[in-house]
Amino acid sequence: MALWPLLSQLFCSECSEVHVSHSGHHMQDCLGPTNSKRRSFHSWIKGSINDILVPIEAYHLYDPFGRRIKHETRFQYDRIPAIVELCIQAGVEIPEYPSRRRTKPIRMIGRKVIDRGGLVEEPQPWRAANPSSLADLDTHGACERFPPPLPSDIPKIAQETMDAYETVRFGVMKLMKKYTVKACGYCTEVHVGPWGHNAKLCGEFKHQWRDGKHGWQDATVDEVFPPNYVWHVKDPKGPPMKGGALKKFYGKAPAVVEVCLQAGARIPEKYKPMMRLDIVVPDTEEAQLVA
């Protein structure tokens, strides 16, 4: 977050494209509602931290094996970041979001619960009286709460951010092997718990056939912690990236990795092949001669 005021991140106001550079690229691949008027060029505006770290929220459940969320009761549950909810169910104690801790195992036959230890009413929330600690969970406007770093500290902060990103991603991967996370196969909805909720909020492909219900399936790490791939820019202050025949020479990387690279961090080896660092981008005339 400390790197945010010092680097240029752009996102298209008509689609979900994000670009980390001082100027937007010139690739004609915008699928927004007015792309025909712009000949599929992107409409670049200043981005935010939520374009780099895509916020994925989920319902907070006091008892994941308790009553299932219905469409009529969906407003009785809070929406918090899915990673935070996963950590709460794994044992992290946050007073504003209590969770039931069982001392006896749950007995199940297949998907049918035989003994869950009874239903327990959720304690009354006291978040309104203690809103200060909730600000740490909100990334929107986080750069306003911290002063910009010194230029000499940027490489160090970039490396710490890169290490933290890999630590969080690895931790989420390990927790998902122990705690069930569901994702909709049609939209971006995520639910942390043994079963998905019954809120009829899906509006994607053929949602009328499903009465708005989500198509739940086992989630992947990329659905809970989206990498949000962006084009790798070898020279952020150089001319804008061009599309057409040159597009096949460009690589991609997660947005956080691209930001940290431009700030001076060392990139892990697993990202270098997808970023195509060993390929020299030819000129427009030379690209026509490349097989």
What is the distance between the alpha carbons of residues 168 and 186, in angstroms, rounded to a whole number?
A: 26
* Helix or strand holding residue 80 (H, E): strand 79-81
**Which residue type does 191 have?**
H
* Helix or strand holding residue 184 (H, E): strand 181-184
What is the distance between the alpha carbons of residues 140 and 147, in angstroms, rounded to a whole number?
A: 15
- Annotated domain spans of the chain: 4-53+227-287, 59-134+170-224
Tokens (6 digits) for 215: 């198509």
Is the per-residue pLDDT at 42 higher than 60? Answer: yes
Is the per-residue pLDDT at 289 higher than 60? Answer: yes
Q: Is pLDDT larger for residue 126 or for residue 54?
A: 54
Q: Which segments of 8-146 are extended strands (E)?
A: 9-12, 18-20, 44-46, 57-59, 79-81, 107-109, 112-115
**Which residue type does 112 have?**
K
Nearest to 249 by CA among 280, 228, 270: 280
Average pLDDT over residues 21-46: 90
* pLDDT tens profile 205-251: 888 898 999 999 999 999 999 999 999 998 888 888 887 778 888 89
Give CA separation, 104 vs 38, 117, 121, 151, 199, in Å.
61, 8, 18, 53, 30
Q: State the pLDDT at residue 189.
A: 95
- Predicted structure pTM score: 0.84
* pLDDT tens profile 91-122: 999 888 999 888 887 787 777 777 777 777 77
* pLDDT tens profile 145-203: 677 778 888 899 999 999 999 999 999 999 999 999 999 999 999 999 988 999 999 98
What is the distance between the alpha carbons of residues 42 and 207, in angstroms, rounded to a whole number?
A: 29
Q: Is pLDDT larger for residue 4 or for residue 278?
A: 278
Q: State the pLDDT at residue 6.
A: 47
* Helix or strand holding residue 254 (H, E): strand 252-254
Tokens (6 digits) for 242: 């061009």
